[in-house]
Amino acid sequence: MPRHRGVYKPSQVEPYELSRFRVENFIRCPACFYMQQVEGIKFPEIPGFNINEATDVLLKRHFDRYRLLQEVPPILIEKGFANLVPFQHPNFEKWTQSLHFGAEGRMHTIVEDLNLKIGGGLDDVWRNTETDELHIVDYKSTSQKTEGREIDMFDKFKGPYRRQMDLYVWVMRSMGFKISDIGYFLYVDGDRFTRSDFIKGNLALMEFKINLIPYKVDVSWIRPALEAIRELLDSSYRPDHNSDCQHGRFLLQATAN
């Protein structure tokens, strides 16, 4: 079956593919979403976050070792979670690949009445040996600028992270898995306050503190958001610039004369 992705084509009957990134783009700014998905306007590319990507690769490699052994990783025992084991599933690797999430065996679900296919690529899944539920896990990297400050998942910048977790729980449940209401953010926090010397021989070694943060998901926003997306895709009008957006204010002022 041909896939319907990229710029929205009203005449195409296949479910329209939207990643969690696109859904987030709609939440952040419907005008932006409309320009990209309906009008096909290409936005400037943003350079990749290579260090964050590298920590993701290293974390995945670490947890894969224990996935293979089906053992609790020592860091989880250390953090008081001796009941969590990296989950093994024949499609697990496919679920981690966010590009082409719409292909067979990947992490997605089809919302039939809205004709949307929603998905993405997750970082990890851990099985709770006490409840037999699965927990969605998201790896994050940061470097806190204030010594000793706790990472707050409810600060104003973490909304997209929370919604990512909400959406992945919702998608995996739609795929038939028993997913816990509790997801985990596994943060590695580059320690800029350490007394250890950064340079050791030929290497520069950064120390990362590890935080494992449980988060109770809220999936109540998802269905209304997808309905609003459906409506916008079929609309003939681009929404106005968001008055709170500094780029929008700039554009309005720049084009006023």
29 contacts ligand SF4 (rule: CB under 6 A): yes
> Least Å distance between CB 140 and ligand SF4?
24
What pairing do the DSSP bridges indicate for beta strands 182-190 and 134-142?
parallel
Choice between 31 and 114, CB closer to ligand SF4? 31
242 contacts ligand SF4 (rule: CB under 6 A): yes
Choice between 7 and 251, CB closer to ligand SF4? 251
> Least Å distance between CB 167 and ligand SF4?
20
**27: which residues sit within 8 A by CB, 6+ positions away?**
159, 160, 163, 225
CA–CA distance, 84 with 157 (Å, rounded to integer): 28
What are the start-end ranges of the E strands in the chain? 16-19, 84-86, 108-111, 116-119, 124-128, 134-142, 182-190, 199-200, 203-204, 208-216
CA–CA distance, 64 with 124 (Å, rounded to integer): 9
- Alpha-carbon distances, residue 58 vs 122, 180, 186 (angstroms): 15, 25, 13
Choice between 65 and 247, CB closer to ligand SF4? 247
Task: Using the rule CB under 6 A, give the single segment among 2-10, 12-20, 53-61, 241-249 that binds ligand SF4.
Answer: 241-249
**Tokens encoding 172:** 């995996």
Task: Using the rule CB under 6 A, give the single segment among 28-36, 168-176, 186-194, 202-210 that binds ligand SF4.
Answer: 28-36
Task: Using the rule CB under 6 A, give the single segment among 113-121, 141-149, 212-220, 242-250 that binds ligand SF4.
Answer: 242-250
Looking at the DSSP assignment, which residues form a beta bridge with residue 214? 184
* The one among 3, 14, 31, 213 contacting ligand SF4 by CB under 6 A: 31
32 contacts ligand SF4 (rule: CB under 6 A): yes
**185: which residues sit within 8 A by CB, 6+ positions away?**
137, 138, 140, 151, 153, 161, 165, 211, 212, 213, 215
Nearest residue to 226 (alpha-carbon basis) of 114, 102, 98: 114
247 contacts ligand SF4 (rule: CB under 6 A): yes
> Least Å distance between CB 101 and ligand SF4?
24
> Least Å distance between CB 253 and ligand SF4?
12
178 contacts ligand SF4 (rule: CB under 6 A): no
Q: What residues line the site for ligand SF4 (CB under 6 A)?
A: 29, 31-32, 241-242, 245, 247-248, 251
